[in-house]
């Protein structure tokens, strides 16, 4: 009992700290935050019903936080109903949309970006973020832990992205895809 209360209050303090550090311009909806989460940026973040961020029986819960940023005013991040994510989720949407459709599951240490954040041109690399391009993760997808999802990518309904993959091009519906870069391994 004493242990449970101590953990509760220590975590509560961390949740409050990251709430104070959050500076998001527009946040709609109320996700269940198991892990402390920092919401940043001048854009918009929308949560549907029953969205959960963080997992109790999983690494990083006590040492880290999830980071969700809609960087510029035209950046929009949408979590539809029933999306569940494990700890250490990082999403940065520069100036397009990142959409995670209903009931998608996301493992720990997952990164999702709509942009490279630096130009590939050497002379513009510090000044330019490069092109932003929307990301769509369809309904009922399962993203394994340690996966990176890069700009402009769509992942099809029910598909699975294997642990540790880097997704740099579209993945169709109903497949398992994996590797760097992620390729279709088999149909489900
Ligand atoms: C994708 C996954 C579900 C596949 O499981 P499976 O259907 O049992 O697949 P298998 O182990 O039979 O592997 C099938 C093929 O995919 C390959 N593969 C499996 N995982 C892979 C990975 N992470 N990256 C690249 N290739 C992978 C296998 O090498 C095998 O290739 P082969 O047919 O050439 O031998 C599983 O490998 C995985 O990544 N699970 C995610 C675990 C996770 O991160 N959970 C989140 C916790 S919150």
Distance from residue 108's CA to the centre of ligand 1 (Å): 16
- Average pLDDT of the chain is 96
Residue 15 annotated as catalytic: no
Q: Does residue 6 register a pLDDT over 90?
A: no
Catalytic residue among 12, 19, 32, 118: 118
Q: Does residue 78 register a pLDDT over 90?
A: yes
As a whole number of Å, the end-to-end CA separation of the chain is 44
Q: Does residue 4 register a pLDDT over 90?
A: no
Distance from residue 162's CA to the centre of ligand 1 (Å): 5
Which ligand 1 atom lies nearest to the CA of residue 145?
A: 44
Pocket test for ligand 1, best of 104, 143, 176 (most atoms within 8 A of CB): 176
Contact 9, 37 (CB under 8 A): no
Q: Categorize the per-residue pLDDT at 56 as very low, low, confident or very high, splitting at 50, 70 and 90.
A: very high
Q: Categorize the per-residue pLDDT at 105 as very low, low, confident or very high, splitting at 50, 70 and 90.
A: very high
Distance from residue 106's CA to the centre of ligand 1 (Å): 15
Region of residue 82 (left: phi > 0; alpha: psi -120 to 50; beta: else): left
């Amino acid at each position: 009992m004493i242990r449970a209360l101590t953990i509760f209050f220590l975590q509560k303090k961390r949740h409050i700290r990251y709430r104070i550090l959050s500076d998001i311009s527009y946040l709609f909806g109320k996700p269940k935050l198991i892990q402390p989460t920092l919401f940043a940026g001048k854009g918009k973040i929308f949560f549907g019903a029953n969205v959960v961020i963080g997992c109790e029986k999983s690494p990083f819960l006590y040492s880290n936080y999830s980071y969700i940023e809609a960087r510029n005013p035209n950046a929009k991040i949408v979590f539809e109903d029933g999306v569940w994510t494990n700890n250490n989720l990082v999403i940065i949407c520069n100036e397009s949309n990142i959409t995670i459709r209903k009931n998608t599951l996301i493992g720990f240490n997952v990164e999702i970006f709509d942009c490279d954040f630096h130009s590939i041109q050497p002379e513009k690399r510090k000044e330019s973020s490069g092109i932003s391009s929307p990301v769509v993760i369809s309904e009922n997808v399962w993203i394994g832990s340690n996966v990176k999802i890069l700009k402009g990518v769509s992942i099809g309904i029910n598909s699975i992205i294997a642990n540790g993959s880097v997704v740099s091009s579209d993945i169709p519906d109903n497949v398992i895809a994996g590797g760097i870069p992620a390729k279709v391994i088999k149909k489900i």
